[in-house]
Amino acid sequence: MLEIDVLVVRNFLIALAIGALVGIEREKHKSTEHPNSFGGVRTYILLAQMGAVSSWLSLHLQSPWIFMLALAAATIAVMSAYVLENRQSNSLGLTSQISAVTVCLLGGAVMYGYAEIAVVMAIVTSAVLTFKQPLHGFVDKLGADDLVAAVKLAIATFIVLPLLPNHTIDPWQILNPYKLWLLVILISGLSLLGYIAVRALGQARGHAIAGLAGGLVSSTAVSLSFARLSRFVADRGDTATTPAPSLAAQQQETSALAAGILLAWLMMCLRLLVMVGLLALPLFEQLWPMLSAMAVVSGAGALWCYQKGSVTVGGAVDAVKVTNPFSLLAAAQFGLLFLLVLSIVRLTELYLPMEGLYLVAAIAGTTDVDAITLSMTELVKQDDKLAIAAAAIVIATLSNTLVKALMVAVLGSGMLRRQIAIAATAIFIAGSLSLLLVS
């Protein structure tokens, strides 16, 4: 009686599915853009099958040359087709040919026991092929400074970081160069992500998108920029070329600015939760109810302001000047600030009652929430200090929110001041109550 190896059958089906996944996208591309281009769904399924069968035979016959010869034959066939096609059109690229060879390799990888990785890579391949226009549009928006920032972050991550010692080098057990630089990279990476989001989405999507994306970079920068813009909206005079906007128009634009500011504050809370979740899961479990309460109130305030005013798409986003977030100077400054806060926290832990951290958190939060948050992730290596660390982060967040509200009060228009004051008061009450209830 013939026995069927269920695992082998499953792997063959996975390989065929990989070919079909990529092949369907290439079939659509062929029918809509390049009718004479290489391959369709059947070709890609057969290439995946070719890779799977050859690797299966290689395993059973213990000869890797079978798979290597099959791959070489597939590559020669694909490139021969490319040469013939290119004689008819000189504008053909190599995307289809490279994806065809990739499908053959992925079919072989499935049979060699890497089915999960092969499926993920097939999805990535299909996504890269599908999102051709968005990817090209994103690259068009990148400038030389953006590439420099990405290269600097790569150097800091893959060259500088491995060279640093991964142990404390001071008698108080404070300074670990490896961990310090790793945290700097984490903050810079989150900032770079926000910067890329702003560039990818463009500067004509309105205050809401600017607030969400800018909040990943700096909620303080968004608050400052939008407060100044609200003053410009309120002070526009009635001239021959620029008539003064109506009161209703001013209220709509100011409400949109308030929505952008509150969305940036919402993103700050979410960013802190992500950071703590990645670095100290026990602290996250203690912290998330309190920061979530503040985030919910921020989101509700943003929705309220959004509904009161139409989100304009003029020069609002241009007012938020987000520069390349990663530089050696900025990284060094953050590293020094983090080290200063960490040292104060450690010395407070050694020589003062633990409640002294609350004052440190309130002071540190006036300028930066990330540094005190990262310091608390180091503190919670001792489980009995989870509640104190969580409370310190909430206090720093409340302090930072108060400072940003004061910035708006000083620099913003009267309409914006009133809306942000109401929202900031609600956030402060929600954070304080959650702190009292959870602690």
pTM of structure: 0.56
pLDDT number for residue 294: 95
CA distance 374 to 393: 9
pLDDT number for residue 316: 41
Q: 266: Cβ–Cβ under 8 A, 6 or more apart, which residues?
A: 212, 215, 295, 298, 299, 302
Tell me the CA distances in angstroms from 67 to 55, 59, 294, 300, one per residue in order.
Answer: 5, 9, 58, 59
Structure tokens at 428: 């402060």
pLDDT number for residue 322: 44
Q: 41: Cβ–Cβ under 8 A, 6 or more apart, which residues?
A: 20, 23, 24, 26, 27
Nearest CA-CA partner of 295 in 423, 189, 201, 409: 423
Tell me the CA distances in angstroms from 131 to 136, 154, 200, 356, 381, one per residue in order.
Answer: 9, 25, 13, 53, 44
The structure tokens 């770079």 sit at 192
DSSP H or E segment with residue 313: none
Percent of the chain as helix, strand, coil, to the nearest 5: 80, 0, 20
10-residue block means of pLDDT along the chain (439 residues)?
75 93 86 71 92 93 91 90 74 78 94 92 91 76 73 83 87 79 69 59 58 76 77 57 57 81 92 89 90 94 80 42 54 67 66 70 77 78 74 91 89 87 94 84
pLDDT number for residue 246: 59
DSSP H or E segment with residue 200: helix 177-201
Nearest CA-CA partner of 181 in 40, 72, 336: 336
Write the DSSP symbol of residue 292.
H
Domain boundaries, the chain: 6-130, 138-438
pLDDT digits 0-9 by tens, 197-253: 555 654 435 567 777 877 776 787 778 777 877 777 656 544 444 455 556 667 777
